[in-house]
Chain A
Amino acid sequence: MVLDFEKQVSEIENKIYELKQMSQNSGLDLSSEIKILESQAYEYKCELYANLKPFQKMQIARHTNRPNFLDYVNLIAEDFIELHGDRHGADDRAMIGGVCHIGEKSVMLVGTQKGKNTKENLEYNFGMPQPEGYRKALRLFEHANRFNLPIITLIDTPGAYPGIKAEQTNQGEAIAFNLKEMGKLKVPIVAIITGEGCSGGALGIGVANKVLMLEHAYYTVISPEGCASILWRDVTKAEEASEALKITACDLLKYKIIDDVIKEPLGGAHMDYNETAKNMKDMILRSLSEFDKMKGEQIVQHRYNKFRKMGVFI
C-alpha cells in the first residue's frame, strides 16, 4: 500500500530500482548516479516524515501493515501466555492480554488487537472492543495488582464498538468502571498509543502513570471523521478536523497529555518492525524503572495527580 503523499518517494525509489536493473543487465557502471539518487531519496524522505500533517500521520497510523498488538508481543515479550476471557461468558478478541517477561521484568501486557486483512479484521472486530473486552482487561489488571506485576497496555483502536448488544451490556459503564478501578491499582501502569487512540474506547485501558505515543500515532476525543460530521456536518472535512483537534504525539506532548514519544523508523513503524519494537521496549523499561522505588500508595497518588492536573480554564 502506497499512501498518497508517499508517491513521490516511491517514484524515486522505482527509478533507483530501474537503474540498478539496467546496470546489472548492461554491465554499465551507474553506481555514482544511483548513489546521488539514493541520497536524494533519503533527504526527501527525512524532510517529508519530519513535516507530516496530522491527516498524513493518521494514514500511517491506520496503515494495514502497521504492527499490531500480537506483532509487538512477538517482538518485545518473552514467555507470553495469553489469559482468555472475562469470566462472565465472553472472550473478546479485540482485547488481548497475558503475562510475560519484558527484559528482566515480569509484567501484564494488555492491548487492543487489529487485523491486517478482512479475515483477521472480522476476527478482531477491527480493534473495537465490546464491553466484555474492557471487563476482561480489568480482570487482568486486578490479577496484576494482586501479584505485583506492572501493567503495560498497547492501544490501537478506532473506538469502543457501537452496537445494540454493546449498549445492552453497558459499554459506557464498562469503560467508566475501568477508569475508576484503574485508579485503585498499586502497580505502575504504562500505556502506549501505538496507532489509533480514539476516544473513551482508548482511554478505557489508558489511565496510566506514563502515557507514551508512537511518533505517528494519534490520540483524540473523537475520530476526525466523527468530529467533522458533527461540527462541520460534513464528513469530507475530516482533514480540517484532524488539524483542529491536535491529535499528534508532538501536539499532545506540548499540552502534557502524554509523557513521551517513541521514535518510529523512517517511513513509519511498518517499514521496520524490529526497530520500532526495540524503541518501544527500551522506553517501556526506562519508564518502569522510574517506579522501582515507589510504594503502592505513591503509585496510586502519582496517577491521580497526573490526571488531576489536566484541564485548562480561567
Chain B
Amino acid sequence: MQNKSLKDWFIERKKQQKLARPKDVEIDDRVGELWVKCYNCGLQIPKKEFEANENVCPECDYHFRINARTRINQLFDENSFSELFTNIKPTDPFSFVDTQSYKSRIEVAQEKTKLNDAVICGKAKIDGYKLLAAVMDFDFMGGSMGSVVGEKVTLLLEKALETKLPVLVITASGGARMQESALSLMQMAKTSLAVSKLNDAGVLYMTLLTEPTFGGVTASFGTIGDIIIAEKGARIGFAGRRVIEGTIRQKLPEDFQTAEYLLKYGQVDVVARRQELRSILSKFLAIHSK
C-alpha cells in the first residue's frame, strides 16, 4: 500500500522537479532534515517514505548503509529484541596515540553513536523464531573489531552453545581495530574458536554480511557461517581496494568485491535485498529448527 502511494508520489514529484528547474530552489530546501538524497541516482526522497522503505531508494534500489539500531528495528519482530552484555566498554590498553589518542576517538564515537562500542548483542525473534543476534555498527570507528567486539561476539556464541539457540551475526566493519594492536588480531582467533565449538554442537550459525565488511571480520567470524547471506550491493572483501591496486598495479573490475561478485565466485549462499531478509531468515530458521 505504502509502496504504491510512494510510486505515485515520485511520478508527481519528478514532474514538479522538471517544471521547477532551475529557478525554483524551494524543492531542495531542508535536505537532510526532511529529505534524503540518493547517492546513486540523485533522487530526493522524503525521509518518512525513505524510512518506510527500509532505507532503500525506491527508484534505483540503492541500499543505504544503516546503523545497528535501525537494523534491529527493521529486522526483528517488534519489541522482541532484548540487549545482552551491555556493560562491556572499551579501554586503551596500549595508550595508543596516532594523530589523535585512542581515548579521544572512543569518546567521540560513543558520543556520536550512543553506543559503548561497535556491536550490539541480544536475544531476538524473527517471525516468532527465537535467536541470538550480534549487530555491528559501522558508525562506531568504522565498525572495527577490538577487544569489546571480540568479547561480546564470543559471549554470544558461548550463550548459543549453552542454549542451543541459532545465532545471526550481522557484520559491518572495516577490519581489526589498529589501536588495540595485537589484541585486536587475537579477537579473530577468539571468535573463530567459539564458532568451532558451535560446529561440534550442531548449533546453527548464520552471518549476514552488509556494507562494508573487510579485513579482520571477513577473515574471522564473518565468513565461517553455516549459512552466509550478503545484502544486495554490499562491498565485502579481505584486502581493501587501494591495497590491492597498490600491489598489483592494475585496474580492478567494476563489480569487484560486491555481494553479487561474491555470489558469482561461490563465497556466499544468498544475496538478498533488504526487504527480503526477514522472510529468508525466517525460512532458514524454520528449516533448521528440526
Contact = CB atoms under 8 A, between A and B. Distances in A.
A and B from one complex: yes
Interface of A: 160-164, 166-173, 175-177, 179-181, 183-184, 199-200, 203-204, 206-207, 219-222, 226-227, 230-233, 240-241, 244-247, 252, 255, 257, 303-304, 307-308, 310-314
Contacts of B150: 310-311
Nearest to B216: A200
Given A162-B239, A163-B244, A312-B91, A203 B265 contact: no
A179 B98 contact: no
Nearest to B223: A173
Contacts of B195: 180
Given A163-B248, A170-B265, A232 B183 contact: no
Contact of B218 (A176, A226, A307): A176
Which of the four size classes fits the interface of chain B?
35 or more
Nearest to B117: A313
Contacts of A203: 185-186, 188-189
Nearest to A312: B93
Contact of A172 (B148, B190, B219): B219
B224 A255 contact: no
B184 interface: yes
Contacts of A181: 196
A183 B200 CA distance: 11
B219 A171 contact: yes
Contact of A313 (B88, B224, B253): B88
B138 interface: no
Given A167-B239, A180-B199, 12 more contacts: A160-B238, A164-B252, A170-B238, A172-B218, A179-B188, A183-B196, A221-B180, A221-B182, A232-B99, A233-B99, A241-B98, A312-B147
Contacts of A176: 188, 192, 218-224
A162 B238 contact: yes
Contacts, number: 192
Contacts of A247: 181-182
Contacts of B181: 220-221, 244-247
Contacts of B184: 221
B14 to A, nearest CB: 39
A139 B178 CA distance: 31
A168 B265 contact: yes
A244 B151 contact: no
Contacts of B216: 199-200, 221
B9 interface: no
A170 B91 contact: no
- Closest 5 A/B residue pairs (Cβ): A162-B239, A172-B218, A179-B192, A183-B196, A311-B147
Contacts of B257: 167
Q: Is the contact region of chain B dominated by helix, strand, or loop, or is it mixed?
A: helix
Contact of A304 (B197, B223, B256): B197
A311 B88 CA distance: 11
Interface in B211-265: 215-216, 218-224, 237-239, 243-244, 247-248, 250, 252-253, 256-257, 265
A228 to B, nearest CB: 8
Contacts of B238: 160, 162, 166-167, 170-172, 175, 200
Interface of B: 88-91, 93-94, 96-99, 147-148, 150-151, 154, 176, 178-190, 192-193, 195-197, 199-200, 215-216, 218-224, 237-239, 243-244, 247-248, 250, 252-253, 256-257, 265-267
A270 B108 CA distance: 46
Nearest to A231: B98
Given A163-B248, A312-B91, A183 B182 contact: no
A195 to B, nearest CB: 16
A226 B150 CA distance: 22
Contact of B197 (A183, A199, A257): A183
Contact of B89 (A207, A255, A313): A313
A263 B218 CA distance: 35
Contacts of A164: 244, 248, 250, 252-253, 256
A161 B253 CA distance: 18
B237 A172 contact: yes
A30 B266 CA distance: 73
Given A200-B216, A232-B98, A244-B96, A312 B188 contact: no
Contacts of B247: 161-163
A314 B88 CA distance: 6
Nearest to A201: B219
Contacts of B192: 176, 179-180, 183, 207
